[in-house]
Structure 1
Amino acid sequence: MPTKRGLLIAGAGLLAAPAIAQQRVTRLLVTFPPGGSTDILGRIIAPAIERHLGHTVVVDNRGGANGAVAMAALASAPADGSTFALDAGGATTNPHLMRGLGFDYATAFAPVTQATILPALLIVRGDSPIRDFQGFVAHARANPGQVSYGSSGVGTGSHLAGALLMRRAQLQATHVPYRGGADQLTSIRRGDTITTFSTIPTIAGLIRDGAIRPLVASTPQRARAYPDVPTVAESGFAGFSIYDFHAIYAPANTPSEAVSRMASAVRAAMNDPELQQRFLSLGLEPAAHGPEAFATFLRQRREEMGALIQAEGIRLEG
């Protein structure tokens, strides 16, 4: 027959069970340092994910190697639904640019969901005589080999978008890589380079001040923040589409139930009307899809980026 002390212990255990369950924590690795769009997005959606999952979500910044440092940590994390990663577009480009990663992007992760589209705009200096995209193409064709386009570094989204545009338009142009977006934009304002692709969060203030002028958007549809700026696709190059995006990943073999729960939580966050206004003000366009749709997109985009990188002979130093 159970003793009184035994019943008290059992009762205490039952009372403690909900508290123990509430102590569960999900870790969200963010693949870039604090302050950038990936980090900002993670910190906006983490509380919304918490509300959906019913337990704490901790943001853990692991910047480095265009996201590969954090993704290496994710690859070795337990596949129990306790750890996820928020990455930008590195999962589609790093496999083709980096060697010796220690993991395979194609097999080490379970795609959870895309979260955003991050449109890039082709820009020129605000006082440039080039007024529109057609004027840029005409100028480049009239001056073969004398047009230069900047980027935030070899193999970055701005580099690949510029390379794809020059290839599709059959323009002879010189790529000039810089160490980050700040130097990339300074080169435009000084006139060292004529044009570059840059994401909206980086250039919104410069556009507002008239320091730079947007010509076209890199996305299939016009950027919601700049609906008057046409796309490359509607400006004579049908099918042109290249852009960064944010997405959530889990370690491979994470239970499908955990993957689906996280996908639903992210989708709820991205569809929240109040949060959507915050995203759009940052130039982030919500685009939450389920695991299957995202996995298909990821395979296609990785193949496209691999073909472009190989065709351009792009290599990272070191």
Structure 2
Amino acid sequence: MLRRALLATAIATPAVAQAPWAPARPIRLIAPYPPGGGVDTTSRLLSVPMGAFLGQPVVVENRGGAGGSIGAGELARSAPDGQTIMIDAMAHTVNQYLIRGLAFDYATAFAPVSQVVVLPQILAVNPRHCPAKTVQEFVAWARPRAASLSYGSSGNATAAHLAAALFLNRAGLEMTHVPYRGGTPALQDLLGGNIAFVFGTVSSTLQLVRDGQLVALGVSTAQRIAPLPDVPTIAEQGFDGFELNEWNGLYASAGTPAPIVQRLYEAARHALADATVRQRLDTLGALPIGTDPAVFARYLAEQRALMQRLVHDARIEVG
């Protein structure tokens, strides 16, 4: 009888050990920026289907300020139990080179779960002021007049600024950077002929391109994007390996057990497969990605190395 009981226990134990993690209470999903922005939108889109998958509500909590570092610090101080998670933007890989006195290390304080979406950028010019139709034509046009040209971005150290800085660095050009409070004012000044180019998001720039008010010279992704299939990537036009997009990633706190990280990743993948979520992401010009934790961790390491060089070479600072 005892042998049978021990055998039954031995057979049952692996099944119990392999049972997927389930949260004990509602999950806090920190969006480390104010309501209404890209990270907030992504967080709210994914929260409902993730909650349905995990069996507990996923509640978005906006903790904005200091370029996302206040909300990130909240996660860094949280218990590694999967009950508090965060969706952050590409500032996650650049803040450590811009913000002094951080109480945590972005490279070690978090457990990468998944890169959830990528938001491509469009290199755009005003055809009334610049005759270029390709990236190479723009470089040839800009080179003799670069000292008098400026470019705009949605703000200092944003994806638009970093993409432009990388592009100018690779092209061997120097121009004055004009940071705006958002992408819309930058596009307005581009339409007014006050700046030479911008890197704009698909959602803000695409219709202006389709209307002929702006010309899309290239896109910042590794492959062409569906809304502009005839516009080549910047990498295709003599800038091998060029890729710098805005993106959002999902994180737990460092030390979170691998089975919990895996379950959170599965929940994110489930959410990204939802038809309503994909339709909404499409209208925002966002590409669902859903990389696994190991792939995302490698991507973060590559991005940190790129951001460190770029911040140094372009002398980027925040006030």
* Shared fold (TM-score, shorter chain, > 0.5): yes
Question: Bigger CA drift: 271-280 or 87-96?
Answer: 271-280
TM-score, normalised with respect to structure 1: 0.88
From 288, 303, 315, the equivalent of 1:286 is 288
CA distance in 1, matches of 2:137, 2:294: 41
Give 1:34-183 correspondences, 5 Å limit. 34-125=35-126, 127-128=128-129, 129-183=131-185
SS in 2 for 1:32: coil
Counterpart of 2:272 in structure 1 is 270
Q: CA deviation at 1:162?
A: 0.7
The Cα offsets for residues 71-126 of structure 1, whole Å up to 9 and x where unpaired, read as 01111122211000011101111011111121110111111111011111111125
CA distance in 2, matches of 1:30, 1:225: 28
User: Quick one: which amino acid aligns to residue 207 of structure 1?
Assistant: V
SS in 2 for 1:143: helix
CA contact (8 A) 2:87 2:249 kept: yes
CA distance in 1, matches of 2:203, 2:71: 23
CA contact (8 A) 1:140 1:172 kept: no
TM-score, normalised with respect to structure 2: 0.88
Question: Bigger CA drift: 243-252 or 63-72?
Answer: 63-72
Unaligned runs of 5+ in 1: 1-20
Q: CA deviation at 1:207?
A: 3.0
User: Quick one: which amino acid aligns to residue 211 of structure 1?
Assistant: Q
From 234, 237, 241, the equivalent of 2:236 is 234
CA contact (8 A) 2:23 2:82 kept: no
Asked if 1:218 corresponds to 2:220, the answer is: yes
CA distance in 1, matches of 2:249, 2:63: 15
User: Quick one: which amino acid aligns to residue 98 of structure 1?
Assistant: I
Give 1:3-22 correspondences, 5 Å limit. none
CA distance in 1, matches of 2:194, 2:62: 34
CA distance in 1, matches of 2:57, 2:171: 49
CA contact (8 A) 2:23 2:54 kept: no
The Cα offsets for residues 154-179 of structure 1, whole Å up to 9 and x where unpaired, read as 21111111111111111232222223
Q: State the identity %.
A: 43
CA distance in 1, matches of 2:217, 2:107: 35
The Cα offsets for residues 31-89 of structure 1, whole Å up to 9 and x where unpaired, read as 22222221111111111101110111101111222211210111112221100001110
Question: Bigger CA drift: 205-214 or 112-121?
Answer: 205-214
CA contact (8 A) 2:221 2:233 kept: yes
Unaligned runs of 5+ in 2: 1-21
Q: 1:95 to 1:268 in 2, by over 3 A?
A: same
User: Quick one: which amino acid aligns to residue 301 of structure 1?
Assistant: Q
SS in 2 for 1:84: strand
CA distance in 2, matches of 1:233, 1:242: 11
CA contact (8 A) 2:23 2:83 kept: no
Question: Bigger CA drift: 21-30 or 262-271?
Answer: 21-30
CA distance in 1, matches of 2:244, 2:24: 41
CA distance in 1, matches of 2:81, 2:24: 16
CA distance in 1, matches of 2:210, 2:85: 36
The Cα offsets for residues 124-176 of structure 1, whole Å up to 9 and x where unpaired, read as 12534333323211211232312211112221111111111111111232222
- For this pair of structures, how many residues does the alignment match? 297
CA distance in 2, matches of 1:205, 1:36: 20
User: Quick one: which amino acid aligns to residue 73 of structure 1?
Assistant: E
